[in-house]
Amino acid sequence: MMPLNEAIKIYIDHMSAEHKSAATIKGYGGALMQFCLYLRNPLINLVTPDEVDLYFKQRAELGWKRNSMVVPAMALRKFFEYWKRKGYPVLDYQMLPVVRKEGTEPRIASRESLEKILAQCAGDDIYHIRNRAVILMLADTGVRNGELCSLNVADITEKCEVTEENGCKQYSCVIRTEKARSSRNPHRRVFWYEQAHTALKKWLEMRATYARLVPPRDPEALFISTKDSHGKAGSRMTPFTVGLVLRRTSEKAGIETVNAHSLRHKFGADSAENGLNNSNISDLMGHANLTSSFVYTHLRGPGLGSAHRKVKPVNNEAPP
């Protein structure tokens, strides 16, 4: 009978062949390897339900939150189900615990905290100009961190659409939803306004100047790294880099970290407060289903484009 770590590697290859998402493969793989390390890599047929129960009990005693155990519990059930169906004499996966996710109140960035981190990006150097555009786009569009990083220059310079109503310009482009496989709308339109667009234009000018000095590794990428750390200058920004930028900017502002998801929650909360219905919010935020929008509102609102204008703060105009 094979060691547990070898069985895990085979199962991970199976998930890849089944076209599971990279996030699922990484999450399940990491959780299974942690469990393997905990048991000191026994043979797969020697793992018992009692050992699994003890594993989760000890994690709870060490202060691990309930929601942190959801993925490991599901990973173990799917792992042993896979080997059981292949005819191996392993434990009955139906005896393993099922950990239900505990509902939590989303952490919502405040208008005050948004203004404070923007104030930290008031300089004219490339780093501040890029970060200001990043923050304003996250706040205006409500996109996920990865969706922001996937934006290309052409999305702003060629594919951007502009509409105007009552003197208010609204910019938009179509992006691929990060959770496209499970979403009812694999592509969606995102919107932003004059302040964010002005910041984007300033960044594109600076980016063009920078590209003459440091040829970009990904010429299509809208947001690129600007510091030559680990030789990544000119490469497409990653969600990790965006998270690091927001954390450092928040530290300089002396406030609790404003991350991309808290800005996304702010967008959802603002949408609800301004009368958008669940369908509008789901379409704007790229939710896989309407139930994800229930955390924000049960209210009704008008059409998608005009409804989004209600989210725009009164002072969100181009600077003089």
**Tens of pLDDT along 51-96?**
999 999 999 999 888 888 999 999 999 999 999 999 999 999 999 9
Q: What is the pTM of this model?
A: 0.67
Q: Which of 282, 238, 242 is nearest to 262 (CA)?
A: 242
More confident residue, 276 or 54: 54
Is the pLDDT score of 104 beyond 90?
no
Cα 121 from Cα 24, distance rounded (Å): 35
Q: What is the mean pLDDT of the chain?
A: 87
What does the pLDDT look like over 130-177, one tens digit per residue?
Answer: 999 999 999 999 999 999 999 999 999 999 999 998 889 999 999 988
Q: What is the pLDDT of residue 288?
A: 75
pLDDT band at 215 (very low <50, low <70, confident <90, very high): confident
Mean pLDDT of 271-299: 76
4-95 and 111-309 agree in CATH topology: no
CATH topology for 4-95 is DNA polymerase; domain 1 (1.10.150)
Is the pLDDT score of 101 beyond 70?
yes
* CA dihedral sign, ordered 190, 195, 201, 206: negative
Reading phi first (left if > 0) and then psi (alpha if -120 to 50, else beta), residue 223 is in beta
Distances (CA, A) of 233 to 131, 137, 224, 227, 308: 15, 22, 7, 5, 35
Q: What is the pLDDT of residue 183?
A: 54
Class of domain 111-309: mainly alpha
Residue type at position 8: I
More confident residue, 302 or 67: 67
Tokens of 300: 């009704």
Q: What is the pLDDT of residue 302?
A: 43
Domain limits, the chain: 4-95, 111-309
The CA angle 242-246-249, to the nearest 5 degrees, is 135
